[in-house]
Amino acid sequence: MSLLEVAGLQAGYETGQVLFGVDLSVEEDEVVSLLGRNGAGKTTTMHAIVGANVPTVLGGEIRFDGTDLRERRNYQISELGLSLVPEGRRCFRDLTVEENLRLAANHAEDPLSIDDVWDQFPELKDMHDRPSKNMSGGEQQMLAIARSLITNPQLILMDEPCEGLAPLIVRRIESIIKDINGKRDVSVLLVEQNVAVAMAVAERHYVIDEGEIVEELSTEQLRKDEALRQEYLGV
Amino acid sequence: MNEIPLPGSSSRSLSLAEAAIWSVLLLVTVLSAVTRPGLFVDQVLGGLVYGLILVLIALGLSIVLGLLGIVNFAHGALFMLGAYFSYQFMAVWGVSFWIALIAAPLVVGLVGVVIERGVLRYLYDEDPLNGLLATFGLSLMIGEATRAIWGGAPKSVAAPQILSKGMDLGITTVARIRLFTVLVAVIVIAAVYLLIERTDFGLSVRAGVLDREMAEFLGVNMNVRFISMFVLGATIAGLGGVLRGTAVGMDVAMDEQFIILAFVVVVVGGIGSLFGSVVAGLLIGGTAYLTPLYLSTLASITNIEAINVPGIGGLVPYLVMIVVLLVRPRGLFGQEGFLE
């Protein structure tokens, strides 16, 4: 059984249905990407999985480690070992770096120690008492990832963690994702528009278009299939 | 956006006009204190007590507004209930003041639970106007219920002996119940501050104010915190009611009288800032009590009786609000961008 199993997922907003049967799965200790253009349904899929206020899930199954997530409230996903690094980072802007991390640790079943996090993110330790609103985009992204990691999850959902960041920072985020997976055996489902980032960190890739998964392929296949990248991803 | 400096902040130099205003204020303060020391101390203490009562109400308003996004018009009714419950405990049932001081606010907290579970929780994700209308309706209902149960005539309770005596300061005599009010209010405000700023519970509440859904994704059950904070705000307002009722008595108009001023305090202090509410409460209490004294001092030294405007004290809070909002629409310590 897969760690995360999504089958026939349909979801939408007041303005209309967006997902028309998404099927995907993530195994233990695996990095998987979900690729697609703007508006293809990537973030909607993420939000449906974690039970966000929007979208409304209309049908299908979402199972995590055997638990039916549709039966769970959004504040009950973290205790199952599922964590979200959301689009736009959503660090608590008036809270310091350390408070952001402490909040996450306080509500986790079996959190990492803050020292474990400092080891992984030495740059965050140096600014531990800075309000997160006074950090750069890259630093905030690291904090958002660290905030997920400290909950000691089995799976992290990351929604475009490299969006709007400078190439050097993007390399750093890539290596963090590889580390999280390599050293801590955390699975990652990565939503990306940036195919290069996805190919650098993930082993398996789903391509979503108009609310449906249209392809599932390995990094090697994705690299070779220029026509597919052109058609669905515009690169 | 242009950064608007705080009044009195050190980042800019004092202009000539400001220097003149501050020196006149200082001069009038000294003159008033010297010519009528007894009255001066009375007014300072009166302003402090009044301001702190406003802070006790404004704290709950500010918490509920920041956390739930609801303008809780019924908050003044909870304050009034605190006073009437203490009347019920002490005058009707003959319970001691000290028990009523604890019990009456707790019963107000229970009323808070009923209001939150019965009405407010259905309004969290609705248009703020719905919350305002619903709580305004609640305030009318509680007001009329109070009139029906305890009658429209003003009521008073007897403070225990140790608090009912005056304390002789030489220049004036101060009622001990007022000093007790200051003491209790300061303890409560400090406790709320520590709860919000220094505890894990407070951390999760602050996170919930900033981004409720993200806090929930991290495992925070926000609903539990909403109820707790609403009940805490209701209990504190009830406590304010007990103190006010014991010191000066109660009537059914105290609801509206105080809720409006508490809103002024929240707006002047800056929405979402508890610290701002404390500062604004003291500012408004202080100016409301000192302005009449200052004007009468000015009138007596200049011999211009027209300066001594009768009833100016009631107008001052609104003048303060107008000035603050003109200079700084977000309020003294409000979030950047709020109302701007």
DSSP code string of chain A: --SEEEEEEEEEETTEEEEEEEEEEE-TT-EEEEE--TTSSHHHHHHHHHT-SSSEEEEEEEEETTEEGGGS-GGGSGGGTEEEE-TT----TTSBHHHHHHHHHHTSSSPPPHHHHHHH-HHHHHTTTSBGGGS-HHHHHHHHHHHHHTT--SEEEEE-TTTT--HHHHHHHHHHHHHHHHHH--EEEEEES-HHHHHHH-SEEEEEETTEEEEEEEHHHHHH-HHHIIIII--
Tell me if B203 and A151 make a contact (CB, 8 A cut-off).
no
Identify the domain containing residue B190 by its residue range. Answer: 49-327
Taking chain A (235 residues) in consecutive chunks of 10 residues, what is each chunk's mean pLDDT?
A: 94 95 96 94 96 93 95 94 96 96 95 95 95 95 97 96 94 95 94 93 96 95 91 81
| Phi, psi for residue A112 in degrees, rounded to 5 | -75, 165
Of B307, B245, B262, nearest to B65 by C-alpha is: B262
How many structural domains are present in chain B?
1
CA distance A147 to chain B (A): 9
B182 pLDDT higher than 70: yes
Which tokens in the block code for residue B133?
Answer: 């209308």
Q: What is the pLDDT of residue A231?
A: 87
Confidence of residue B13 (pLDDT cuts 50, 70, 90): low
Inform me whether the pLDDT recorded for B73 exceeds 60.
yes
Distance from CA of A141 to the nearest CA of B (A): 14
Peptide bond preceding A55 in cis form (omega within 30 of 0): yes
Banded model confidence at residue B95, pLDDT cuts 50, 70, 90: very high
Instruction: Give the count of Cβ contacts less than 8 A between chain A and B.
Output: 66
State how far the Cα of B202 lies from the Cα of B194, in Å rounded to an integer.
8
Give the separation between CA A188 and CA A202, rounded to whole angstroms: 8
What pLDDT, on the 0 to 100 scale, is given for residue B65? 86
The answer for residues whose C-beta is within 8 angstroms of residue B313's C-beta and 6 or more apart is B288, B289, B291, B292
The answer to the question of residue B257 being in a domain is yes
The minimum CA-CA distance between A73 and chain B, rounded to whole Å, is: 9
Does any domain span residue B42?
Answer: no
Angstroms from B204 CA to nearest CA on chain A: 6
Judged against a pLDDT cut of 70, whether residue B5 lies above it is answered with no
Q: State the average pLDDT over residues B173-179.
A: 90
CB–CB of B220 and A83 under 8 A? Answer: no
B4 lies in some domain: no
Q: How far does Cα A48 stand from its chain's mean position?
A: 13
Taking the Cβ of residue B215 and every Cβ of chain A, the question of whether any pair is shorter than 8 Å is answered with yes
pLDDT cut 70: percent of chain B above it: 94
CATH number of the structural domain A4-89+155-233: 3.40.50.300
* pLDDT at residue B70 tops 90: no
Give the pLDDT score at B167.
Answer: 84
Reported ipTM: 0.95
* Subunit contact A90:B211, Cβ cutoff 8 A: yes
Residue A78: which of B200, B218, B222 has the nearest Cβ?
B218
Among A73-77, A162-166, B78-82, B311-315, which stretch is predicted with the lowest mean pLDDT?
B311-315
Interatomic CA distance for residues B264 and B233, integer angstroms:
17
Distances (CA, A) of A20 to A95, A209, A211, B155: 39, 10, 5, 66
With contact defined as beta carbons under 8 Å apart, do B77 and B254 qualify? no
For residue A219 the two structure tokens come to 């990094």
- CB-based contact A107 B216, cutoff 8 Å: no
Residue B69 reports pLDDT greater than 60:
yes
Model pLDDT, residue B2: 45
Q: What is the pLDDT of residues B215-237, one digit of tens each?
A: 999 999 999 998 999 999 999 99
Whether the CA torsion B75, B77, B83, B88 is positive or negative: it is: negative
Distance CA A193, CA A174 (A): 14
Between residues B307 and B96, which one has the greater pLDDT?
B96
Segment B135-141 mean pLDDT: 95
Give the burial class of A93: count Cβ atoms within 10 A of its Cβ; 0-12 exposed, 13-18 middle, 19 or more buried. Answer: middle
Is residue B301 less than 8 Å (CB to CB) from chain A? no
Give the CATH number of the domain where residue B67 resides: 1.10.3470
Top-confidence residue, B124 or A176? A176
Q: What is the pLDDT of residue B339?
A: 45
Q: Report the pLDDT value the prediction gives residue B47, as an integer from 0 to 100.
A: 95
pLDDT of B280 reads 96
pTM: 0.87
B contact test, residue of A97, A103, A149 with most B CBs within 10 A: A103
Q: Is A104–B214 a contact, with Cβ atoms under 8 angstroms apart?
A: no
Cβ-contact A160, A192 below 8 angstroms: yes
A102: which chain B residues are within 8 Å (Cβ-Cβ)?
Answer: 200, 203
pLDDT of the residue at B302: 87
From first CA to last CA, the distance across chain B in angstroms is 10
How far apart, in whole angstroms, are the C-alpha atoms of residue A87 and residue A160?
6
Q: For residue B208, what are its two tokens?
A: 């919930």
pLDDT at position A9 is 97
- Provide DSSP, B40-95: HHHHHHHHHHHHHHHHHHHHHHHHHHHHH----TTHHHHHHHHHHHHHIIIIIT--
Q: Is-contact A153 A128, C-beta < 8 A?
A: no
User: Can you tell me whether residue B218 is helix, strand or coil?
Assistant: coil
Token pair of B177 as six digits: 């119940």
Q: DSSP letters along B129-182, please?
A: HHHHHHHHHHHHHHHHHHHHHH-SS-B--PPPHHHHSEEE-SS-EEEHHHHHHH
Which tens digit of pLDDT belongs to each residue from B238-260?
999 999 999 999 999 999 999 99
Q: Is the pLDDT of residue B337 over 70?
A: no
DSSP 8-state secondary structure symbol assigned to residue B9: -
